[in-house]
Structure formats: C-alpha cells, structure tokens
Structure 1
Amino acid sequence: MHRYRSHNCGELRAADVDTDVRLSGWLHNRRDLGGILFIDLRDHHGITQLVARPGTPAAEALDKLTKETVVRVDGKVVSRGAENVNPELPTGEVEIEVTEVEILGAAEQIPFTINADDGVNEEKRLEYRFLDLRRERMHRNIMLRTAVISAIRHKMVALGFNEMATPILSATSPEGARDFLVPSRLHAGKFYALPQAPQQFKQLLMIAGFDRYFQIAPCFRDEDARADRSPGEFYQLDVEMSFVEQEDVFRPVEQLMTELFTEFGNGRKVTSPFPRIPFREAMLKYGSDKPDLRAELELVDVSEVFAGSGFKAFAGKHVRALAVPDTAGQPRKFFDQLGDFAVQQGAKGLAWVRVGEDNALTGPIAKFLTEDDIKSLVDALDLKPGHAVFFGAGDFDEVSKIMGAVRVEAAKRAGHFVEDEFRFCWIVDFPMFEKNADTGAIEFSHNPFSMPQGGLEALETKDPLDILAWQYDIVCNGTELSSGAIRNHEPEVMYKAFGIAGYDKETVEAEFGGMLRAFKFGAPPHGGIAPGVDRIVMLLADEPNIRETIAFPLNGNAQDLLMGAPSDVDEARLKELHLSIRTGPAKPTPYKPTK
C-alpha cells in the first residue's frame, strides 16, 4: 500500500465496502456521540467520514488532536446504512472504521474556523491566507479560476491564436497609472518598470508578422483598490490581431465569452449576440458606460419638456426621467427608499410622480406640472396607469451617475431585474478627445493609441470633441471586463492626434520612440483587447469582491499581510542598488487613473 494513501477523500463509494484503505488529510471536524468519534477528513478532493469506536487506540489518538492536524489513517470501508446516508457528500454512503492513526503534521489552535464562516475580518483572513484557502468556498473559487484559465488557453488556440510571452522588466510607460519601478544594479540611477500591460510589445508582435497573439498576462499598476480591482497586480487575457477591423475582434472574443460563461456559469443563461451600444447612447439611456442590462429599464432625456417650464427646479437643467411600470401596488415606502438611495449616490433628493387609473399624475411635484408638461411627459415616456416616474436634474455627468444607479436599484425593487443571466454588451464609438473641466485643454478621453474614426482627415477637419475613436469596451452585468481598440498604426496620424492633445513631436518621439520606429517599417492594421481574468472569475463565482478569486491578493492598502510585503531593505542592498532612503512624509503625486 502507498505510504500515505490508497484513495483520496472524495473517491470512496458504496462499491468499496469491505475494502481496506489508507487516507491522508486534514482533520476537518469532530463529533463525539456517546463516546463514538465521528471525524470528517478533508483533502483537495473532498471529505470522507471516519468512525472510531470507544476504547480503541484510534479513538484515543483522534480525540486528542486539534482541528486541521494532518493525519494518515488506515481502516475498512463500511456502509453507513440507508438512514445515515449524507446526500450532500459524494462519499456520503460510506465511512471508514479507523484501525490506525499517524500524525503527519500537528496543528496549533487555529485563529478562525475553517469548516464554517465565522465572520472573521478580511485582514485576519489575508494574514492566514493559507488557512483561508482551506475553506470550501475559497478552494472552489481558486479551482474555478484554474479551470477557467485552462479553458481560455484551449479555446484561444482553437480560434487560431498563438500564446507568446512578453517581458516583465521593461521601460516606464505613460499609460495612466503609476508604474512599479525596479532599480537597476548595473545601471546606476536607472529603473526598469513592471508592465502595466503588454500593450506595446503585443503591437510589436503584430508588426513582426505573428498575426494572432494571446497571453494570460500579469500586469502591474500602482493603483488604489476597489471591489473589482486588486491593487498591485492582476491578470488579463491579452489579445492582438492583424489585418482586422472592429467586428473582426468582436467575433472571436464574443465566441470565447459565450462558451466560457456557458461552461462555467452554473446554468445561468448567456444572452447572445452581444448588442453594440454607442458610448453616448449608453450614457443617455443607462447613465453609465458600464450598463447592467439585467435592469430592464431605460432613462429618457426630458430636458426639452422642462426647458420653458414654470417648474423652476428643473428649468434650464439637464433632466433625465426613469419610467417604472407596474408600480400601482407599491407603498409610499418604495418611493421614500429610492429617494434615500438617490441621496446616498449624491443627489439632494429624488422627484417623482405616479400615473393613476384616470391618467392623472400624483406625487410631490405633480402640482408644479402644467397640462402641456404632463402631455409632453406622457408622449415622451409612453406613460400608462401604474407607471411611476423618477427625475434627476443637474449637469449631464452628475445626473448620469445618480440616475444610472437609481435605474438599477429601481429595477431590482420593482421586479424589472433579471437574475441568473449574463448580459454582455459592447460599448463602441468612444469620443477620441475631451475637454479638461478645470483647464479647458483638449486631452485624450480614453486610449491615446486608438485609431480615430476617419483617420488623418478627421483629425485635420473636425472639431476634436466630435471625433470618435475605434475604441470599445466589453461589459457584463455592469462590470467592465476590458477596453480594446483598433490601433493607430500610422506615424502621421499618431503625431497629429498627440498634437491635438498638447504633445509636441519631440515629446511623442521621446516617449514612444520604439513604437514609432516600428511603424515606419511597415505596420499592418491591427487591434486587440484584454479582458480581465480576475473579473471574469469574480462574475462566474458570483463574488462581490475580486480578492475572493485570487489565491494571494494584497489587501486594500496594497500590503501582503502573509509575507510581510512591502518590507524594509538593509543598507548593503540599498547601496548595491545605488539608492538611499529619504525619510519624512511622502508627498502624493496626482495622477489620472487608468480608464
């Protein structure tokens, strides 16, 4: 028999009754029923119940052990009997009568419960992450991540893509976030940068003639944490294709996502094909360029209705309305709670009316509306009895943010939200440029390396704020999985685009000299995208926080509480790297977060 096990803890079935077996694993749980010990033994594969009779050496040994001790046990497989079968375990028809026990790894008293969620805080979980990963949910999440990455690789190869590696140590790149810098020992005062993304390298691979590239790429950005973004490092499915237009990129990515979310979505439907929604339409209808399409309600611009209205609270402002059907039976609390929600999003309040059986409007602002106002609203929103209408007024961006959140919340509360589906969409036609609200300067609004729609002619003849880019995002259930673009591969177009954003030719050549040099030696039209692996797994696992799908994440303050990073470095090492530590409070450097 093998030194440690003849079977794993998820393997034994009724057909194995009367078999002598050896198992190894962790002491997951223990129950004493009238002197008979029942032990749940756990390993990577599952759980098997052990039984030790009173007075036996096995019972004496197992009774003294702390939970999470690693043991080897020998014994015989016996049937539990029909009345004692545990249908929740694949091994639930059998148990092992233990005859011998060997301690393989003693465990101290554990700092939190493994076999149940005891509400321990995240800091403690990350400090003892090796224990946290023993929990069933976390183990399942990490194995889901492994399976998803394996499936991505197989599907991408089947789609004709070639997996290639790009450098980790590279030059600093002005991609919007802060770089992580690595000091050079051989070149005093100089630094490598960890890649924010393999963007320039994957484009160079296209210029080198490799046609279809992909990589499960580690990326490093010194950014603050969010629920859907891990500080420090993350992984993305990096993709680039040559001789393509926008739809050519969409097709394989859409196929991949449909197959992936169908395979690992636990029965949840994937809506396909993915709709293409222009950026400005998304902001107008959904209040967001990351719309959650499970909410089956849309916002409507009713600014014109109130442009000449006597209702001073709305007059001269951008006004967006949300019509919610089937609210006749909703109590006043429904409206008050949505108002409170809007205030939490930054609103001063939430105006509303409701439509009665006689088509008359009631509600806090109904008395301020003229007959013409009411008629215009009914026509614009196609109002019927039972509708409630909520209003947001202010500047465009403020109203979009608040009413976009209200749209989703109202849909959930009023029964117009579809659960158990993955609803994808492509957001397209992003503006190439925007005006800085503080300085009035023209700057890139999204990705400076995107090809402008209309090319050089558009840059030379159009108002910069009217130029659209071949830029796109893929969104699922309100989460942006990735941005992508058809790349600007023509030097003159690149010089002109950066010139409009305030960069002179010398600056462009200094920052992007390698790319520009490559463009001048025959660059194919190319484009790509890079969906976030962590976010994909987060959605599939139905987890609200991305750290729940990463084996060893940093905490919200970008610290590794398990390994103690970032850590101090001794003086000898600093000297070798030509560095000295300047003490005192750090002065934060403002930066524009990556979009």
Structure 2
Amino acid sequence: MGEALKGLKRTVMCGELRENSIGNTITAMGWVQKKRNLGGLVFVDLRDRTGLLQVVFGEEINEDAFTKADTVKSEYCIAVTGKIVKREAPNENMPTGMVELLGENIKILSESETPPIYIKENLDAGENIRLKYRYLDLRRPDMQKIFMIRHKTAKVIRDFLDEKGFLEIETPILGKSTPEGARDYLVPSRNFNGKFYALPQSPQLLKQLLMVSGFDKYFQIAKCFRDEDLRANRQPEFTQVDMELSFVEEDDVILLNEELIKKVFKEIAGVDVKTPIERMPYKTAMEKYGSDKPDLRFGMEINDLSEVVKDTEFKVFKDTLENGGSVRAIKAEGCGSMGRKQIDKLGDFVKTFKAKGLAWIAVKENEIKSPIAKFFTEEQLKSIVTAIDAKVNDLILIVADKDNIVFKSLGELRLHLAKEMELLKNNKEFRFVWVTEFPLLSYNEEEKRFQAEHHPFTMPMDEDIKYLESDPGRVRAKAYDIVLNGEELGGGSIRIHETDLQEKMLKVLGFTKERAWNSFGFLLEAFNYGPPPHGGLAYGFDRLTMFLASTENIKDVIAFPKNQNAACVMTEAPNVVDDKQLDELGISVLKEEN
C-alpha cells in the first residue's frame, strides 16, 4: 500500500545535486530506477525528470529505512529524506556522480507492477507497445529531454515575438468547413440539427480577419487538424507556430523569421545559423534538385542535357525532345564500377515515379561504357561527359520524359543515392534555404481544373496579375517556404487583401460568385472595410522540434500521438459512442455489411 505525504515536501530535484550540496538535509521524490542489496547496504538509483541520484540505506543509518528500502522494486514511487555526502566511489558518467544521499527516512508513495517496457534510454521496443503504454514511455529520460526541448523552444519563440510587438491571440477550434484544402474533421452540432462544425486545418482566414481588426502583429501556437491518409511524419492533429503581420512585404516577413530562426537554433541547439539565408526561386530548385524542398547538404545536382543530345539518333531522347520533354541527368561520383544488378534496381526505383526508364553512362579509365553507347558517336558521348563534368569512375544517370516526371524521378533518385552512398552519415550541419516565387496555381489533370499551390488567399506577384485569367499556369505567387535539410520547416505568403482580386482568384479555381460568397463570404465582406496589406508564415512546430531534438520520428515529439492508422492505441480512440449521444445529434450509423 502506498503512503500519504502527510505534509512532507520535496526540497530538491534529483539531478540538481552537486558537491556544493554536501552536508544539506534534503527530501527527494521520484521513481526507483534500480535497487541493489550489498549485504548491510541497499543502493537505490532514484530518478525524476532532471536525472538520477544514488541513495544509500544502511542498517547503521536507520534500520527501519533500510528494511523498507529493501522491499522496493523498479518504478516504485518513493520519497526519501536524508543528508547529502561525498560519494566514496564517484561515477563520472553521472552529473550527480560525486555525491549520494544517505537515506534516513523513506516513504513508499505507490508500488508498481513490472512495467511492460523498460524505462531506459534508447529503448528498442515496438512502436505499438510504446504507444499503448505511452505514460511509461514518456518516463524514459531521452523522451523527457525531448519535451523539455519542446517547452523551451515554445518559450524562446513566445519571448522573441513578444519583444517584437506581437500579440498572442487564440482562434476557435470549432469553425466552418471550407473547400480547397485537405479533408476536414467534422463535428456534428446538437443545437443545429444536420449541421457541422469543422476543426481547423490552420487559422488562415481568422488570422487574416485579425489583420482587418487592426491587431497588426498576431501569433499563436495553434492546434491544427487534417483528415488525410498518414504518410511518414504526418499526424492527424499537429501544432504550428502561426503568425501574421500587417503593412509588410515578402522581405519583411523573411528577415523577421531569419532573426527568429537564428535565435531558436542558437538558444536550443547551440547552432549558429548564418544569415542572410540563401534564397532560391522555385524554378531553380526544381531544375537543380527536382524538389521544392531541396537538400543542399550534398551536390549531385540535376543537369539539363537536352541541348547536348538534341542531334542524337537515340529514339528515346529524340522523341522526348520532339514532344516537349527534356533529357536530364545526375552524376554519382565514384560509382562507375557499380554492378548491372544495382543499376537495374535504380531503374526500377525511378519507374515508381512514372519514369519510363533510366539510361546510364559509366566513365572508365580508357573508355565510356553504356548500353546506349551504340546510338552515339564517340564525340557525342564525350560531350555528355564534359557537360556534366564527369571524371573517371563516375556514373551518369539519365531520365528522358516530361519535365515534371524528370524532376520528380531524378530528385528522388538523388536522395536515394545519398542514403545508399552514406553521403550524410556523419553530416550534422543545418542547411537552410528560402524557396521563393512558387507557382500560384497548378493544374489538376484528374479534375481538369487549376488549384491553389498553397491556398486560395495567396497574392500573385504584381507583374503576373495580368495573366491570372488568360494564362493561370504562368502566374507566380508572393509565397516563400523555409526549408531545412530537405524538409519544409515552414511556409507563408503575402495575402490578397482586395475583394475584387480575391473573387477573381476564386473564379480561376472554379468558384462561381455565389459559391465563393457561400464559402468565404465572411472574408470577402471584411475586405470591404479597409483591410491592410498583410502576410505571414507558419512553422510546423512538431517538425521544428524534431530537428532541435535530433530525432527523425514525429511521434517522439508529440506527447500522445496517433499510430499510422490515425488511432490512439492507449485510449482506443476513435471508438463507438452511446446511441443516446447519436440520437441527440440526429445521427444514425450505417452498419458495414460482412
């Protein structure tokens, strides 16, 4: 049975004790990491979120405490009072390893069964069992460090934005479902039968209304929700650092956020981020890296060989160029001796991204080897090698297709080879880049219409507005993403703040005027009352924490995450509810047929 505290107060945290505490009588509380009985002495490692403290119980110190201490097991929750003394056998691997606590009194606050997972760092256990017993998983020191980093990161961001004159304002969780975006989570209304609230995918429209309200600088660490199929490092509910500013242009938002990034990475990770951060137009990012979130920690850039091979008789290249496609390549340095089976696997890899195939050229000491060599003159082969600056023992990998397929397949192949070649194995650098000048719209082949690349409220670049109705695919956006090591850390834009332009944008997206006002009328109406020019940015706070905590799994930085099926195995959510609750909402559930 556990004992009550009965007025006993914790006076210090376990991990705080050092030699300057010697001689102090203290009370520590926490969990038993392990116990060792060495005859007349019982040693207990006591753990709380600050670290470990060795506690010694001896028959000569206090026989009752010694006897009780010998009954404790791992994960018992205990309170110990005693004196801090110098440790006879110091442990230099423990921050508290120069001292120990002589246990004069012990209270067993609660007992523990044998835990289903070990409470230790670097636990090698299945994800589902960790999530089922998440409250135990979170006791582990490495997990607790992550959440201390998360807390401190939020505080640094809040303090920085406060100093810059931002107001933290909360926006509603229960809102209106609006089209154009991922699938909403819907919440039925009891008071309005047959109507639904939607959980916010972001506070986008509401933060724009806060600018109309005159708040000038807003931020929020906001919960957001998207009902979409989960991919790697996606969660149905996530957190973003959301901000919006009035009377600003792109440079204002970018420069402010460079200051913020610099401060966060210095204070949390001890990393000096060099500013100004490089800026790269979207077009350049796609052409050189095949991605709008380029990883700049290694080379292997994409090269355009279209001009070099335009006179070739090789049918694949010739047909591709005649049909408006391109021929592009990457160079894998030192891979010229790669076996045919390995290269064939790379060919299979690019086919998963709709490429029809992968041509290759290996540069040898005295020859250029390639299965397509017979279609080229020696001079043409040499011109390809020269164009891509290939050296002896390099491997040239070529895809010929529509640009979007070439970019995607070579961009993914570039990342795949970086892992295979272990180019980033010991690479601890942080490579930031701003990607700018995104297309405002992209064409959806399935739906035969244009859709917003970011969202429908993004301002077109001034010089491109004239093409909005006549040539929508040509229009660039005043949008910017901050990318770190090949991951999008955050993104934002300058927003449309005029009703006429916003209506025109929605019309291009396929909205009639009536549908536009039905969906976004509250925003369009607000724009009739002197809206300021405004723009903003939102960071994925979970992803930011992943970088700062050096973990690659988003579930590590969320206290109670969902699994890959968007389910909580600990609480068993989602689950069925009582018929009475459904009746109150006017909802009937269709039974699935077996």
Q: Same fold (TM over 0.5)?
A: yes
Of the three residues 426, 433, 436, the one matched with 1:425 is 433
The answer to whether the aligner puts 1:228 opposite 2:233 as a matched pair is yes
In structure 2, the CA distance between the partners of 1:460 and 1:566, relative to structure 1 (3 Å rule), is: closer
**Residues 26 and 41 of structure 1 are in contact (CA less than 8 Å); yes or no, is this contact kept in structure 2?**
yes
Equivalent residues of 1:459, 1:496 under 8 A apart: no
Structure 1 match to 2:591: 583
Query: Deviation of residue 26 (structure 1)?
Result: 0.2
- Which of the residues 374, 393, 404 maps onto 2:400? 393
Instruction: Compute the displacement of 1:128 (Å).
Output: 1.1
Tell me which of 302, 318, 341 is aligned to 1:315: 318
Q: Does 2:176 match 1:171? A: yes
208, 224, 242: which one aligns with 1:238:
242
Given the alignment, which residue of 488, 503, 528 partners 1:480? 488
Is the alpha carbon distance of 1:443 and 1:118 closer, same or farther for their aligned partners in structure 2, counting shifts above 3 Å?
closer
2:525 to 517, 528, 540: 517
Q: How many angstroms apart in 2 are the aligned matches of 1:24 and 1:41?
A: 8
Aligned residue among 266, 274, 278 for 2:281:
278
Distance change (3 Å), C-alpha of 1:88 and 1:341: farther
Shift of the 120–378 alpha-carbon distance from structure 1 to 2, 3 Å rule, reads closer
For the residues of structure 2 that align with 1:118 and 1:209, how far apart are their CA atoms? 50
- Once the two structures are superposed, residues 293-344 of structure 1 have per-residue CA deviations (whole angstroms, 9 ceiling, x without a partner) of 112231112133333423334433332211244x28x7536x8656535634
Query: Quick one: distance in 2 between partners of 1:217 and 1:118?
Result: 31
Question: Does structure 1 residue 255 correspond to structure 2 residue 262?
Answer: no
For residues 68 and 344 of structure 1, do their structure 2 counterparts lie closer, same or farther at Cα, with a shift above 3 Å needed? Answer: farther
Change (3 A) 1:188 1:202: same
3-state SS of the aligned residue for 1:482?
A: strand
Q: Tell me which of 341, 346, 360 is aligned to 1:352.
A: 360
2:114 maps to which residue? 109
User: What is residue 17 of structure 2 aligned with on the other side?
Assistant: 12
Aligned residue identity for 1:240: E
Poorly superposed stretches of 4+, deviation over 6 Å: none
Report what 2:3 is aligned to: none
SS in 1 for 2:331: strand
Match of 1:296 among 296, 299, 311: 299
Quick one: distance in 1 between partners of 2:299 and 2:110? Answer: 54
- Mapped to 1, the partners of 2:557 and 2:342 lie a distance apart of 33
Structure 2 residue ranges without an equivalent (≥5): 1-5, 321-325
Tell me how large the CA RMSD over aligned residues is.
2.6
Counterpart for residue 591 of structure 1: none
SS in 2 for 1:401: helix
Match for residue 376 of structure 1 among 374, 383, 399: 383
Distance 1:147 1:428, change over 3 A: same
Report percent identity of matched pairs: 42
Following superposition, the deviation at residue 483 of structure 1 comes to 2.5
The secondary structure found in structure 2 opposite 1:173 is coil
- Deviation by residue 1:264-301 (Cα, 9 ceiling, x = unmatched): 22x44534322221212211110111111112231112
1:465 corresponding residue in structure 2 = 473
- Indicate if the aligned counterparts of 1:338 and 1:406 stay in contact, CA closer than 8 A: no
State whether structure 2 residue 79 is matched by structure 1 residue 72: yes
Is the 8 Å Cα contact of residues 217 and 237 (structure 1) preserved in structure 2? yes
One-letter code aligned to 1:97 = L
Q: 1:572 to 1:438 in 2, by over 3 A?
A: closer
Residue 501 of structure 2 is matched in structure 1 by 493
For 1:47 and 1:336, locate their aligned partners in 2 and report how far apart those are by CA, in whole Å.
52
Structure 1: give runs of 5+ residues left out of the alignment.
587-595
Distance verdict in 2 for CA 1:344–1:28, change over 3 Å: farther
Checking the alignment, whether the CA contact within 8 Å between 1:342 and 1:406 is kept in structure 2 is no
Counterparts of 1:437-456 in structure 2, within 5 Å, are: 437-454=445-462
Which of these residues, 28, 52, 56, is aligned with residue 23 of structure 1?
Answer: 28
Aligned partner of 1:492: which letter?
Answer: D
Match of 2:68 among 61, 66, 71: 61
Q: Deviations over 1:136-195 (max 9, x none)?
A: 111011111000001100011122222111122211122411212222222222222221
SS in 2 for 1:315: helix
- Measured in 1, the distance between the counterparts of 2:529 and 2:111 equals 64
When residues 491 and 424 of structure 1 are mapped into structure 2, their CA distance, relative to the original with a 3 A threshold, is same
Q: Secondary structure at the match of 1:142?
A: helix
Q: 1:297 to 1:274 in 2, by over 3 A?
A: farther
**What residue identity is the alignment partner of 1:26?**
W
Listed one character per residue, the Cα deviations across residues 79-136 of structure 1 (whole Å, up to 9, x for unaligned) are 223xx32222221111223233211011112111002444221111111111110011
| Kept in 1: contact 2:49–2:141 (CA 8 A) | no
Whether the 8 Å CA contact 2:337–2:393 is kept in 1: the answer is: no
- AA aligned to 2:239 is Y
Work out whether residues 481 and 532 of structure 1, in 8 Å CA contact, stay in contact via their aligned partners in 2. Answer: yes
Counterpart Cα distance in 1 of 2:464 and 2:513: 16
Q: Which moved more, 1:368-377 or 1:343-352?
A: 343-352
**Contact 1:290–1:478 (CA<8 Å) still a contact in 2?**
yes
**Paired residue secondary structure (1:303):** coil
Instruction: Mark the CA change 1:37 to 1:585 in structure 2 (over 3 Å): closer, same or farther.
Output: farther
> CA contact under 8 A between 1:276 and 1:427: conserved in structure 2?
yes
1:560 aligns with 2:568: yes
1:408 — aligned with what?
415
TM-score by length of 1: 0.90
Q: Which residue of 2 aligns with 1:590?
A: none
Q: Which amino acid aligns with 1:272?
A: T
| Partner secondary structure for residue 404 of structure 1 | helix
From 319, 332, 335, the counterpart of 2:338: 332
Counterpart CA distance in 1 for 2:77 and 2:569 is 25
Q: Is 463-472 or 9-18 further displaced after alignment?
A: 9-18
CA distance in 2, matches of 1:441, 1:190: 29
Give the superposition deviation at 1:532.
Answer: 0.9
Alignment check: 8 A CA contact 1:159 1:252 kept: no
Deviations 1:540-582 (A, max 9, x none): 1121111110111122212222223222221222222232222
Tell me: CA distance 1:510–1:160, structure 2 relative to 1, closer, same or farther (3 Å): same
Contact 2:51 2:141 in 1 (8 A): no
1:26–1:71 contact (8 Å) kept in structure 2:
yes
**In structure 2, distance between residues paired with 1:207 and 1:565:** 39
In the TM superposition, residue 7 of structure 1 has moved relative to its aligned partner by 2.2
- Distance, in Å, in 2 between the alignment partners of 1:227 and 1:540 is 18
- Structure 2-normalised TM-score? 0.90
Match of 1:160 in 2: 165
Aligned length: 578
The residue number in structure 2 matching 1:145 is 150
Q: Which moved more, 1:114-123 or 1:146-155?
A: 114-123
Task: Name the CA shift for 1:412/1:90 in 2 (closer, same or farther; >3 Å).
Answer: same
Q: How far apart are the structure 1 equivalents of 2:464 and 2:525? A: 19
Counterpart for residue 323 of structure 2: none
Q: Is the 8 A contact 1:271 1:421 kept in 2?
A: no
| Letter matched to residue 168 of structure 1 | I
Q: Per-residue CA shift, 1:176-232, capped at 9, x if unaligned? A: 11212222222222222221111111101111111111111111221222332212x
